[in-house]
Structure 1
Amino acid sequence: MAPFPSHPVDTEHILSFFSSFPVRSCEPNALPNIQQALNDTIYNCTTPASRERKKAEYRHTNPAGNLFGLSLAMSEVDRLAYVVKFIEFLCIVDDVMEDLPFREACTEHAILRQALYECYDNDHHGGRAVDPMKSFLRELRIELAGLDDPNTPLLLRTLDNSLRLRDSDDTEFKTLAEYIPYRKINFDYDFVCQLLRWGMKIPPAVQEDPLVRTYEHIIGVIVGLTNDFFSWEMERQQATDRIRNAIPVLMKEHSVSELRAKLMLKEVIIEEERKAKELKDRIMSQPEGREQLKRYVTGMEFFASGYSFWCATCPRYHRPQSEERFVKHNNRL
């Protein structure tokens, strides 16, 4: 199959959007598939009226564009819904785990990982918080087995490793260089890359190319730090025993104000984008016969640009204090 038709997005009028990457969206063609996948995930992984459900529903109220329509413009039609389910699932996991004390979050992650193994299918212990998510992930694993795709087992092993590593370090980072590897882990970035390749049906050999590895790393830095840049106003108000964001790291590392640290972070992201564009030009100049590599790199760029555009426009990051009022309004409809 092929991806849904996509179109360029006009970003000129969005003052908060500073990425130099082009943005494309596969809305409206893909929206029914995306919405069905979101409904399946949100309503099976959260309970009615719960904080997690309210946050998930609010996450997808962006009038500027759907998160997945913007970031998954090159996923194959028959894979898009699965990609949406996995990413939304991880977003919900993140919303749940960030409210738990560090040690308890580690335990809950371990319980959740059991859903990826058939030998635990009769173990219905759902821990304190992950029971619905564990059931959802188990059913998703069983459904994917029916696709008979030889690359699916690698996808699930990568997810298992990501759940094992995410939020597994309570270190207070002193420098941005120390923080970036953790940020990529906590973003589930290795799994996201594997998922994007799986969703685009990119041959596994592509990921072994050194240029691809380098490009993936740069894109990982961009998306992780872009999330930090736009989510800081929301995160700084959260009651948690660990704040994971590059802005307080830069404040500590350079002894600067919050405003200066945010400007520094923006400069870092812009410089990483410059590196990505330079490397992409090198990849695109490769001889014929490397079309899959070039297609994947293009898909990664659209993933980063779409995600950046969504972060720059979504109510979740720009009107966090209005969230409860929005939910109450929705409940009255």
Structure 2
Amino acid sequence: MAPFPSQLVNTANISSYFSSFPVRSCELDALPTIQQALNDTIYSCTAPGSKERKKAEYRHTNPAGNLFGLSFALCEADRLGYVGKLIEFLCIVDDVMEDLPFGEACIEHAILRQALYESYDDDQYGGRAVGKMKSYLRELRVELANLNDPCTPLLLKTLDTSLRDRDSDDSEFQTLAEYIPYRKTNFDYDFVCQLVRWAMNISPEVQENLLVQSYEHAVGVIVGLTNDYFSWEMERQQPTDRIRNAVPVLMKEHSVSEVQAKSMLKEIIIREERRARELKSEIMNQTEESDQMKRYVTEMELFAAGYSFWCATCPRYHRLQEE
């Protein structure tokens, strides 16, 4: 099925958006599909009046554009809803787990992962915090399996790995080079790439191309560090035993102030964008590369652009939510 129609977004008047990537949105036609996916996920995974529900609803109050419409314009129309469900689910998981001590979060992740295995379907134990999410993930697994897509098992396997690894390291990172692999993992980035390929009906073989792997890495660095850049003001005030953000890592690594670290981080993101543009150009100019590969690379640029634009404009990162 073809993607929803999309339109270029005018970013010229958004001073906080510093990316060089063009932004497109399919929100105009796709919003009913996206909204239904969000409603299904938020109301299934959170309790009325809970902090997690308030956070989820606030996440989607951005007047500049919907996160999923901005980020996944080339995903097929009949799969965009699943993209919204799975990523919103992971956002809610993140909101819940960040409030738990590290050891408890690891246990809760393990309980949640049981929903991805049929052998645990009779186990109704929901741990301390993941009962609703576990039930929802189990139902979603069954729904996805019923699509009879041969790529769905790989998608669910990648999700399982992501849930296993996303919050499994309580190290204090000393350098940005040490931190970046963790940041991509904590962002569920491998799963996001697999989800995009699945939602675009892209052959798994595309990811075996070395240029594509380099390009994916560059985009992963961009989106992970962009999140850190814009979310720092919110994260620095959160009561948690583990702050995971590039700003304090750079402060420690280079013995600089918070303001200097944010400036450095912005320059690193801009530099990584230049590298991504060079890699994309190389891929696009190779005539022997498949149309699937070129479409995928184009969507990943739109993902980085849309996500960066959303981070630059969303109330979540620019106007702290009242409890």
TM-score (normalised: structure 1): 0.96
Separation in 1, partners of 2:79, 2:201:
9
Superposition deviation, residue 289 in structure 1? 5.5
Q: How does 1:109-258 map to 2 (within 5 A)?
A: 109-258=109-258
**Aligned equivalents of 1:36, 1:66: Cα separation in 2:** 13
Amino acid at match of 1:111: I
Alignment of 1:1-333 (within 5 A): 1-288=1-288, 290-320=290-320, 323-324=321-322
Q: Which amino acid aligns with 1:239?
A: P
- 1:201 aligned counterpart, secondary structure: coil
- CA distance, structure 1, for counterparts of residue 55 and residue 13 of structure 2: 27
* Residue pair 2:283, 2:289 contacting (<8 A) in 1 also: no
Q: What amino acid is aligned across from residue 175 of structure 2 in structure 1?
A: T
- How far apart, in 2, do the equivalents of 1:211 and 1:47 lie? 44
Residue 28 of structure 1 and its aligned partner are, at CA, apart by 1.0
CA displacement, residues 105-164 of structure 1 (integer Å, 9 cap, x when unaligned)? 000000000000000000000000000000000000000111000000000000000000
For residues 138 and 27 of structure 2, what CA distance do their matches in structure 1 show?
30
User: Which segments of 5 or more consecutive residues in structure 2 lack a partner in the other structure?
Assistant: none
Structure 2 SS opposite 1:124:
coil
Query: Which residue matches 1:330?
Result: none
Structure 1 residue runs without a partner (length 5+): 326-333
The residue type paired with residue 277 of structure 1 is R
What's the offset of the Cα at 1:21? 0.3
Runs of 4+ aligned residues of structure 1 deviating over 2 Å after TM superposition are none
Number of matched pairs:
323
Deviations 1:42-61 (A, max 9, x none): 00000000000000000000
Letter in 2 for 1:183: R
State the AA in 1 paired with 2:224. Answer: G
Is the contact between residue 4 and residue 73 of structure 2 (CA under 8 Å) also seen in structure 1? yes
The offset of 1:27, in angstroms, is 1.3
How many angstroms apart in 2 are the aligned matches of 1:144 and 1:110? 21
Instruction: Report Cα offsets for 1:66-100 as digits up to 9, x if no partner.
Output: 00000010110110000110000000000000000
1:328 matched residue in structure 2 = none
Task: Tell me the TM-score normalised to structure 2 length.
Answer: 0.99
Shift of 1:286: 1.1
